[in-house]
Structure 1
């Protein structure tokens, strides 16, 4: 791709919805305002005008002002390019660690709290097992495989946090929980044979709970509405609901009734195409027998 083509691509992405700062997220507003202020101070110290800087990083002047004014969440490539252009030695690029947390609204950062309050939850997973279904050993193997690698201490903290979310299965009254998992995810022996066997046994134990259904989407199903990625819908006792999908609304959580109807339609269609809960448990038992 040419330099001009790359600049057009970046400017186009910057105009996409889903990168606005949530005004109700005080911490998020503070983070983006601080990053924007640092960018502006460094740009001015370098003697660059906003238009000149925009050309250098491949974004429009208007977007530069929005980012510096704390009105727009910068993409990672924006921060990386700004770091390079301004010679910040990695200090600007490093702000992505905080910015990426603001990329999603406050509600997503409080996913565990939402799960703990939900009376109904429906989840479709395409590439991996849902975190609520993972054994500690399975989760540890996944976190250990990440690149760049986590430290051993970080891995353990992440495992503890993931397992803590599974207290949802012990709640009373019990929420109605529905999971649809792709067959391919069940066949990948994450962590080796013994860890894989323990994971399959865990799925059987959870799938037999009176308030939980686990369904398998077989590989022979050629196409279905979940091929774009994960779908999740949570419902609460007060009638409120929140949903998100990798393939809709820029991956951001939504409470809009129209958006939720779309997600619920997709999820219900996926469930109809998957194996029944009973047949799914039989399938998992067969997989276990093959190990």
Structure 2
């Protein structure tokens, strides 16, 4: 996966690549020989060593074992994985993995945590300026990897309020749209997940300023994340976070209940 981002991302990838190269040469292996042992081509090894590609976690674990690195490579796995995300989202992605509670309001597209693979790909393919295929594959893989949070132990509490208009927009075509609504139904039946739909016909709306996410960490920190047009902010100040918490609470009261929301999604599926 090709790296696209800032100096922090580039530095991590270069550092990992240098460590890989030093370990490989100290074992007397060529790039082709190491690639053969790892199940990758010589070009892949070269790209990772030069910091041009983001290795997957399984690549790092396998390389650590084959080269007898005793954890020297594996310890960098989380930092390397963060390089898969756009720079503006990287800090929020880290907090997301540590959250005991996540509450998401979405009004543009289905939230990334709920996106099916085909829908996520369609979202990235629709971006302008166009993203190249390598970047799209990278971003899709990263988005799907985030969804591991649903099954983390102990189970985090996760909720969503999604605009009805989002569900009616067939991003990627009707086939992709059906698969996405089915994914929402599946997630909505999980014990630790509640999904609510905000009907378009509602005349009062507490969050017209845009989407946001509320995060509570295992240490009890409460944080609000806001993002628009590749610009993002993590809000830590209590007054700012409380404002978004108040908005979210009212949104949940204004939206359909979780049961009614799933019934609406099922109704939409039945119309196509």
The answer to whether TM tops 0.5 is yes
Matched, 1:128 2:109: yes
* Alpha-carbon shift at residue 153 of structure 1 (Å): 1.2
Please give the secondary structure, in 2, of the residue aligned with 1:225.
coil
Matched, 1:287 2:271: no
Please give the secondary structure, in 2, of the residue aligned with 1:120.
strand
Match of 1:263 among 236, 240, 244: 244
Structure number with bigger Rg? 1
Q: 1:146 to 1:27 in 2, by over 3 A?
A: closer
Q: Which runs of 5+ in 1 are unaligned?
A: 1-25, 31-100
Match of 1:149 among 130, 136, 139: 130
Question: What CA distance in whole angstroms lies between the structure 2 residues aligned with 1:155 and 1:246?
Answer: 20
Question: What CA distance in whole angstroms lies between the structure 1 residues aligned with 2:269 and 2:8?
Answer: 46
Question: What CA distance in whole angstroms lies between the structure 2 residues aligned with 1:144 and 1:219?
Answer: 27
Q: Which runs of 5+ in 2 are unaligned?
A: 1-6, 12-85
Matched, 1:185 2:166: yes
Q: How does 1:1-291 map to 2 (within 5 A)?
A: 108-245=89-226, 252-291=233-272
Q: 1:141 to 1:27 in 2, by over 3 A?
A: closer
Question: What CA distance in whole angstroms lies between the structure 2 residues aligned with 1:252 and 1:151?
Answer: 26
Using the size of structure 2 for normalisation, the TM-score is: 0.66
Does structure 1 retain, via aligned residues, the 8 Å contact 2:104–2:161?
Answer: yes
* Cα deviation digits, residues 64-98 of structure 1 (max 9, x gap): xxxxxxxxxxxxxxxxxxxxxxxxxxxxxxxxxxx
> How many equivalent pairs are there?
189
Question: What CA distance in whole angstroms lies between the structure 2 residues aligned with 1:255 and 1:224?
Answer: 24
* Alpha-carbon shift at residue 27 of structure 1 (Å): 5.1
Question: What CA distance in whole angstroms lies between the structure 2 residues aligned with 1:223 and 1:129?
Answer: 22
The 4+ residue runs of structure 1 with deviation greater than 6 A are none
Using the size of structure 1 for normalisation, the TM-score is: 0.61
Question: What CA distance in whole angstroms lies between the structure 2 residues aligned with 1:219 and 1:175?
Answer: 29
Please give the secondary structure, in 1, of the residue aligned with 2:119.
helix
Question: What CA distance in whole angstroms lies between the structure 2 residues aligned with 1:221 and 1:115?
Answer: 30
Please give the secondary structure, in 2, of the residue aligned with 1:275.
coil
Aligned to 1:52: none
Does structure 2 retain, via aligned residues, the 8 Å contact 1:228–1:246?
Answer: no
* Alpha-carbon shift at residue 226 of structure 1 (Å): 1.6
